[in-house]
A and B are shown apart, each in its own frame.
Chain A
C-alpha cells in the first residue's frame, strides 16, 4: 500500500490544517480553483474533484505536496441517492467529536425507524417539522453545555478578539467550527453571516448563538451532496462528501481533521489512500460507531434496550445484565475489525467475553466472576460463537419463552439473506396446543399443509437453539422433557446441536454474500438495485478471495463505484 506523500505530511500534523489559520489560505486557494475550473456555476466552494492543474496551486498554498495524477476517468453510472439526515446516534457522536460535549437530549429524540434493517437508509427518514423544533432545543442545550465546559470552551477559543479589530479573530473561531460541523469549509459569505451573530463585547453569548445556528442549520442536520454534473449524469463525489460518507459509515460521526485535510488536497479518491484510511478508522475508538451502528442493527443487539423479561421467571435479567449482554456481543464483533480474521469465526469461535453480570448465566464458579470482561473458553459450555450469545438469544425470544421461529428467522434473514415468504393469513390464529416442548408444538403446526412448507425450513434451525432459554441461559429440559436440539436441514445436512449448525452456516456460500449485502446497504443508505449487482458481485469476490476478512470487505465497499460516485439528481 502506497501512502501518498501529502498524507504523510497531514498525518505528521494532525489537526493542524483545518482549525487554524492555514485553512483560510486553503479556502482562498479553493475559491480560486473554482474560478479556474467553472463547470456548472455551482462549484464555487466545492469543485468536482481537485485533480486539475490547479491542484499544484492548492498544494503550494497549503504547504502540501500532492502526487500528480493522470486525467480523471469518466465516472461510471450509479443509481441515485438521497440526502441523509443524521440519525440520533450519529448526531450524538458528531456533537461529541466536534465540540467535546454530550448531546444529552438525543437520548430522547424520536426513535429512528429502520428500513431494510438499518436506520441509515435515507428512505426511512422522512422530513418532519417536529424534528426541526427538536433540533432547536437540542442545539440550545448543546451550545450552553459547550460554553459551560472549560475544555470545550477552550478548544473553541483559538484566539482572543482584539477589541480594536475583533473580526479576524472571530473568523478564526467561527471558520473551523463550521468546517467541522458542516464537514466542509464554509464560504466567505457563510463565515460573515455567522460572525455577525457575535457582539465582541459579549463573546460567550455571541458564540452561543453561533453554535445554536450552526447545529440547527440544515448543513449540520443533513448530509447534502453536491451535484456537479447535468441531471442524471454520474460524477465523482467531491472529496468532502466522500470524507463524510467514510466517517459516517465507519464512525457514525463527523470526519476528523485528517480526513478533512485529505479532502482539502483532493487526495481522498485515491484507492490506496481509501484503503489506508479504512484501516486507520477501524483501529480508532470511534469505530464503536460501526460496531453499534452496523453490527448493533445487523445482529440485533441494539434492540436489547426494548427487551423486557418477567422478573419472577428470569430473576437474573436486569438492566446491568442487559448492558453486559450487549457489551459481550460488541466485543465479539470488534475482534473482526483488524485485518487477517476470517468472518466465519464469528460463528465458530470457541471463546466468549464474560463479566460478573454474565457469569451467572454461564453458571461460572464465583471465583471466575470478575467485574472486568474476560475471555473464557466455551469448550465445557456447549456453546459456540455468535449464535449462543446470551444477548442474541434474549432478543430472539418472547418475554416468557424462547422462540424457535424468531431464531430461525434471524438465521435465514440476517445471516443468509434468504427470507421466507410471509405466512398465510390464517397463521395469525393459532390453534390451542397442549404440547410441552417447542418441538412438539411446532410438529403440530407443521401438520397444517399451509404452514408446512416454510416451517420445514424454519423449524430445524430454530429448534437447534432450544437449549437456550429466553435470557440465553443453558437448559437441559423444558417442562420435564429433555430437549433435543438435533436436526437436519432441507438440504439433508444433519447436525446434533447448534454448534454443528454453526459449522454448516459458516460454510454456506450465502453467508459471505449476505454479509457483503448488509454492509453495502448500510454504507450506501439505500436499497440495492439491479444496477448495483455487478458491483456487489465484485465486492463479494474480493471478500471471499481475502478469506472473508471484514476489513477487506469494508475496503472493497469504500473503493466501489457507488460509494465514490454520485448521480446528479433530476432538476426540481
Chain B
C-alpha cells in the first residue's frame, strides 16, 4: 500500500522525481480541503464507446483547467465534475497482428493482452470485476453488465479473436467474459430481482417464499451433479452454483425495494435513441436503489458499424472511423463523438440530480469513459480517450490532466481502486502504481 499512504507531493518532489512533465501542478498541490468529511466513492460505472474518437475535436486544449472541446461540449452542465486525460495509452490493447478492436476492447478494463483464439479465451480480470469481487455480498447483485448492441450470431468478429472479446468488457476471471444485457425489460427484472414493484408487500413476500423453495430444489440438483462431473465441466457447474447462491441471497435479503418501488418496467424500446435512454435510466435505477455497485456499459460493441441517420451522418460508425482522410467522413465521426458525449453527459446529470446522503449519487460514483482504440483510422492504442467523472471529494473536477505520451491507463485504474478503498498497488500489465497528480490528497 505504499502509494496509498503517500502524502501530498511537494512541488520540489515532483520536479525531482522527473514525472512531472506536463502535470497540472496547481491541482496536485491544492490543499486536501474536503478530505476530512469525505464520502469515499463506493460505486463504479465503466462506460465504453466503440471505435475510438477523432482526437482533434475530442481532446481539450492543453490547459489544466478544463476547456471543453467541440466533441465534449455537451458535458458543459457537469463540466466541474469531470476530468479529461490526455497522453494516456493502453499498450496491452495492441495486438501483434490486426485485431485491434477485439484486443483493445478486451484490454479496455483489463489492461492486458488478449490471447488470439476463437476457443481458448484469456485476458485478465477487469477493473469493475476486481471491485465487485472486493465488495461481494454488499448488494443483491455483485455487478451488472449492460449494453445497447447484442451482436449477430454469425461469422467471425475479428481476425482470429473470439466474438466474446468484441462484446464483453467485464471479465470475472482471465478466462470468463461476462455477457451483457441489452434488453431493458430483462435488465429491469434482473435489477429488481424479479420483484414486482406494483405488487403489495404481502404478495412480494409470498413470492419470495416460493422462490426459496424452488431454489432449494435447484440447489439439491446442483449438489447431485457435483460428484458426477470431471474437471472441465465442474468449472461450469461451480459458476452456476455462484449464480444460484446469488439468487438465494436476493430472496433472503430483507424485504423492501426502497426507492425502487417507484420504478415501472420499461417497454420495448422503439428505436436506438429510446434504447440508450432506457439503459441510462436503468443504470441510475440500479445505483439509486443500491442493487449493485459495479456496472459496466457498452454503448456499442467493438467495431460497431451502427448508422446514425438521426444525426444526418451517412455511413456506419466503424466504416467512418476508417475515413482515409475523407473530410465528409471525418465530419460525420465528430458528430458521432459529440452525440456519444451527450449520452454520457445525460447519465452524469441524472446521477447528479439524484440526492444521496448529504450529496448526490454522482459524488459517490466513480464514472469512467473509454474506448478500444485512440484513433480509429490508424488503430492506435495511445492517446486514448479517457474521461473520469464523480468522486469529486477525491479528485475534484473541471480538470484536464495532460500526461507524457504513453502513460499507462492501468495506472489510472490503480488510482480508482485505491479511491474505492482497495489496497491494490498494481493493475494489469503496466499499471505499476497510481497515476500521479490525480488525487487531491495524495
**Given known contacts A127-B176, A137-B186, A422-B97, A132 and B151 CB-to-CB distance under 8 angstroms:** no
B17 within 8 A of A: no
A209 touches B210 (CB 8 A): yes
A136 touches B305 (CB 8 A): no
B185, B193, B229, B306, most chain A CB atoms within 10 A? B229
Selected from B152, B160, B247, B307, the residue in CB contact (under 8 A) with A310 is B307
Measured between beta carbons, the chain B residues less than 8 angstroms from A1 are none
A572 within 8 A of B: yes
Selected from A105, A306, A424, the residue in CB contact (under 8 A) with B152 is A306
In the complex, 23 of the A-B residue pairs with CB atoms within 8 angstroms, ordered by the A residue number, are A82-B233, A85-B236, A87-B153, A108-B186, A109-B186, A110-B182, A111-B153, A112-B153, A113-B163, A123-B162, A130-B145, A133-B246, A216-B214, A222-B236, A296-B154, A300-B155, A310-B307, A310-B314, A311-B309, A398-B319, A429-B379, A432-B326, A571-B230
Given contact pairs A107-B183, A205-B210, a sample of 9 additional A-B residue pairs in the complex whose CB atoms are under 8 Å apart: A114-B154, A127-B176, A132-B244, A133-B243, A224-B228, A297-B154, A306-B150, A428-B322, A433-B324
A107, A108, A129, A140, most chain B CB atoms within 10 A? A129
Measured between beta carbons, the chain A residues less than 8 angstroms from B111 are none
A116 within 8 A of B: yes
A127 touches B236 (CB 8 A): yes
**Given known contacts A83-B233, A209-B213, A425 and B97 CB-to-CB distance under 8 angstroms:** yes
Q: Which of A192-241 contact B (CB under 8 A)?
A: 193-194, 197, 205, 209, 212-213, 216-219, 221-222, 224, 226-227, 231
B100 within 8 A of A: yes
Measured between beta carbons, the chain B residues less than 8 angstroms from A216 are 214-215, 218, 244
Q: How far is the CA of A527 from the CA of B236 in the complex (A)?
A: 18
B120 within 8 A of A: yes
A133 touches B183 (CB 8 A): no
Measured between beta carbons, the chain B residues less than 8 angstroms from A89 are 153
Measured between beta carbons, the chain A residues less than 8 angstroms from B210 are 205, 209
B167 touches A113 (CB 8 A): yes
B contact residues, total (Cβ < 8 Å): 87
Query: How many whole Å from A96's CB to the nearest CB in chain B?
Result: 19
B218 touches A222 (CB 8 A): no
Query: How many whole Å from A231's CB to the nearest CB in chain B?
Result: 7
Contact with B along A560-572 (1 / 0, CB 8 A): 0000000011111
Q: How far is the CA of A311 from the CA of B271 in the complex (A)?
A: 15
Query: How many whole Å from A51's CB to the nearest CB in chain B?
Result: 22
Q: How far is the CA of A428 from the CA of B381 in the complex (A)?
A: 13
A310 touches B150 (CB 8 A): no
B156 touches A572 (CB 8 A): no
A213 touches B228 (CB 8 A): no
A423 within 8 A of B: yes
B164 within 8 A of A: yes
A85 nearest in chain B by CB position: B236
**Given known contacts A134-B186, A137-B186, A303-B154, A114 and B163 CB-to-CB distance under 8 angstroms:** yes
Query: How many whole Å from A448's CB to the nearest CB in chain B?
Result: 13
Measured between beta carbons, the chain A residues less than 8 angstroms from B118 are 115-116, 121, 123-124, 527
Contact with A along B234-246 (1 / 0, CB 8 A): 1111111011101
Q: How far is the CA of A527 from the CA of B99 in the complex (A)?
A: 21
Measured between beta carbons, the chain A residues less than 8 angstroms from B235 are 127
Question: Shortest 8 CB-CB distances between A and B: which pairs?
Answer: A569-B230, A132-B243, A127-B239, A108-B183, A303-B154, A113-B163, A110-B179, A129-B243
A69 within 8 A of B: no
Measured between beta carbons, the chain B residues less than 8 angstroms from A193 are 217, 220
Q: Which of A418-440 contact B (CB under 8 A)?
A: 422-425, 427-433
Query: How many whole Å from A186's CB to the nearest CB in chain B?
Result: 10
Q: How far is the CA of A217 from the CA of B215 in the complex (A)?
A: 9
B231 touches A569 (CB 8 A): yes
Residues of B bordering A, CB below 8 Å: 97-100, 118-121, 142, 144-145, 150-157, 159-160, 162-164, 166-167, 175-183, 185-186, 189-190, 193-194, 210-211, 213-215, 217-218, 220-222, 224-225, 227-240, 242-244, 246-247, 305-307, 309, 314-316, 319, 322, 324-326, 377-379
**Given known contacts A80-B232, A425-B98, A130 and B217 CB-to-CB distance under 8 angstroms:** no
**Given known contacts A123-B120, A124-B163, A209-B210, A303 and B155 CB-to-CB distance under 8 angstroms:** yes
Q: How far is the CA of A399 from the CA of B4 in the complex (A)?
A: 50
Residues of A bordering B, CB below 8 Å: 42, 80, 82-83, 85, 87, 89, 105, 107-117, 119, 121, 123-124, 126-134, 136-137, 140, 189-190, 193-194, 197, 205, 209, 212-213, 216-219, 221-222, 224, 226-227, 231, 296-297, 300-303, 305-306, 308, 310-311, 395, 398-400, 413, 422-425, 427-433, 526-527, 568-572
Selected from A121, A123, A395, A399, the residue in CB contact (under 8 A) with B316 is A399
B190 touches A134 (CB 8 A): yes
A431 nearest in chain B by CB position: B324
Query: How many whole Å from B416's CB to the nearest CB in chain A?
Result: 23
Q: How far is the CA of A399 from the CA of B238 in the complex (A)?
A: 43
Measured between beta carbons, the chain A residues less than 8 angstroms from B186 are 105, 108-109, 134, 137
